[in-house]
Structure 1
Amino acid sequence: MALSAAQNLPHAQAPTMEYAGVRLEQLSLEHAPDLVALAEQGQLDDAWFASTPTTQAMAENIEHRLALQQAGKMAPFAIIDLATGRAVGATTYLNIDAANHRLEIGSTFLAISAQGTGINPAAKYLLLQRAFEQLECYSVAFCTHWHNAASRAAITRLGAKQDGVLRNHKYDPVTGTLRDTVLFSILPHEWPAVRTQLNARLARHSRI
């Protein structure tokens, strides 16, 4: 199914996908209690350049993602740990450009307790597999703040290549700063190597 034929229309549901003990499913307000609980475990990311939702803003963040879905701009997923059946984070397809077969994977946050367990690589596997093997994307992008060195390293470790830096790309009214955005991407011919690397990481976590 080509991306142009599945345009993430406003009424479309994010598909349910499972792999390596992880399920991605349509995000909803029903996931709010789990996501609030994981936020209460500790700051998901307390760095000044992060934009992860707080405990108080979690429901509002979910509603914002659902509004973007209704506008055809986002497909939001809850990340479910099948070992517990609970939501441990959220992620999205965003900046969907059906005409040019492009999308971005981002707006991701994950419980501290789930980090380093293989859940994030499994989620990325599912999103990338659908993007390249079903939606037939020409390019899948990842964007992060210039100062978020950990995120940049993680995206590079995923196998994405850096395309460039968008200087003064976004204004943050909370900090009063301008963000330089680092843009990465994966192309279709790179997906087999990325898929192999992800499976190797999941095997090290005994998830496959």
Structure 2
Amino acid sequence: MSWQPVTLSGQHVELVPLSREHRGALAEAASDGELWRLWYTSIPTPDGMAAEIDRRLALQAAGSMVPFTVLDRPGGSPVGMTTYMNIDAAGPRIEIGSTWYAARVQRTLLNTEAKLLLLTHAFDRFDCLAVELRTHFMNHASRRAIERLGAKLDGVLRCHQRMRDGTLRDTCVYSITAPEWPTVRSHLDWQLKKPR
């Protein structure tokens, strides 16, 4: 089995294969909150969106990434991007990353359901040993969101990457393992169904 573009649909979100046709709507989504201004992230500027889409599609062609456009509901508007990346087909093992959302959908059920769809596909379709999620040490909101999913901190890669501004990124590496998946799935199902 190979990791190919696929559409994953839920009630609050739909993940569709990334396309150059999404450029305008994704540029608008990134403008919602001026997300590229967060120094500890690598979110594209509206003017850089076409180049970022081309970069992700080139990595898909090389077999190392499966990028998605995130829609705010099935058939809805693009509100962000996410990917399967660092694909280790031999494991199999994968990372869910390079994720960003427009400010208006952050801290909603959209992210919870998106992660549930991605994790379900990785564990149930591909029988992954583990799924990783990574973020900048200083991105406390992202770290809390990853921990709320049920992922556990594996460790911190010190001086892992150089950021656009020249600073060095310490990367927090989290994972969910196959034996943990049934518990995490129950937790995410409960998060989506609990009264608000």
TM-score by length of 1: 0.89
User: In the alignment, which of 58, 80, 83 is matched to residue 92 of structure 1?
Assistant: 83
Tell me which residue corresponds to 1:122. 113
Does residue 190 (structure 1) correspond to residue 146 (structure 2)? The answer is no
One-letter identity of the residue aligned with 1:41: D
After superposing on structure 2, the runs of 4+ consecutive aligned residues of structure 1 that deviate more than 3 Å are none
SS of the aligned residue for 1:134 comes to helix
Contact 2:84–2:97 (Cα < 8 Å) also in 1: yes
For 1:163 and 1:34, the matched residues in 2 are separated by 35
Write the mapping of 1:60-71 to structure 2, written as runs, cut at 5 A.
60-71=51-62
Deviations 1:132-188 (A, max 9, x none): 00010001001111111111111111100111111111122x221111111110001
Tell me which residue corresponds to 1:82. 73
Closer, same or farther: CA 84–103 of 1 in aligned 2, 3 Å: closer
Does residue 53 (structure 1) correspond to residue 53 (structure 2)? The answer is no
Deviations 1:12-71 (A, max 9, x none): 4x1111112311110001111111112233312532111111111111111110000001
Closer, same or farther: CA 18–43 of 1 in aligned 2, 3 Å: same
Give aligned-pair identity as a percent. Answer: 47
- Unaligned runs of 5+ residues in structure 2 are none
Tell me which residue corresponds to 1:162. 153
Contact 1:117–1:205 (Cα < 8 Å) also in 2: no
Report the more deviating stretch, 84-93 or 104-113: 84-93
Closer, same or farther: CA 204–54 of 1 in aligned 2, 3 Å: farther
SS of the aligned residue for 1:100 comes to coil
TM-score by length of 2: 0.94
For 2:92 and 2:73, the matched residues in 1 are separated by 31
How many residues were matched structurally? Answer: 196
